[in-house]
Chain A
Amino acid sequence: TQLLEQSPQFLSIQEGENLTVYCNSSSVFSSLQWYRQEPGEGPVLLVTVVTGGEVKKLKRLTFQFGDARKDSSLHITAAQPGDTGLYLCAGAGGGSNYKLTFGKGTLLTVNP
């Protein structure tokens, strides 16, 4: 079973601060996806990273896939209250198993 560990589980910060959340595994993934889920809604895809070492930017969000494709990070610069939500990473396995494995998420609260 492939497991994805996300840290921290909870993060409460002030508006304007920077933060990084992590997604780690002992397994290699063919790709890794990041989702954000707001209260009462389903997760929404933010980005997919495919190549080891890949960095993708989405406005103030920077996503990085580890060189070995076992881990990923999400860095938010100058967080805003609108960034509040549950951030989930999900890995797609290689070989014949392409089902997604989801981490348990990081619950981010950005206080005004």
Chain B
Amino acid sequence: IAGITQAPTSQILAAGRRMTLRCTQDMRHNAMYWYRQDLGLGLRLIHYSNTAGTTGKGEVPDGYSVSRANTDDFPLTLASAVPSQTSVYFCASSQREGLPQFFGPGTRLTVL
């Protein structure tokens, strides 16, 4: 079934540790996105990629990095996790920027 997969489903992480959240889509979408969702703050864009090989900063990029080596994969890395990065992280993709987005099931991350 076509769609987006995210891994892990959930994770508890000690502060200061490095963590990579994985995201893979099989729809051959050009654009991919990472959001975090926090109560009262809604969905906030962390980083995005309009096409393989390019990335851009969203609304809340500090402490996060991304890469887009190919069309299908868009990993999000926390170099040194902090408690304020505790959140639910969603990966999404769209045929191109601005078109409807398809979301993954999310990764619930807790940083202690």
The interface residues of chain A lying within 8 Å CB-to-CB of B53 are: none
Number of interface residues of A (CB under 8 A): 21
Picked from A45, A99, A104, the residue with its CB within 8 Å of the CB of B40 is A104
Minimum Cβ distance to chain A for residue B31 (Å): 9
16 example contacts (A-B, Cβ-Cβ < 8 A) are as follows A31-B98, A40-B105, A40-B106, A42-B103, A43-B90, A90-B101, A92-B99, A98-B96, A98-B98, A99-B45, A99-B48, A100-B45, A100-B98, A102-B43, A103-B42, A104-B40
Main secondary structure of the interface of A (DSSP, over half): strand
Main secondary structure of the interface of B (DSSP, over half): loop
CA of A41 to CA of B106 in the docked complex: distance in angstroms? 7
Asked whether, in the complex, the Cβ of A42 is within 8 Å of the Cβ of B97, the reply is no
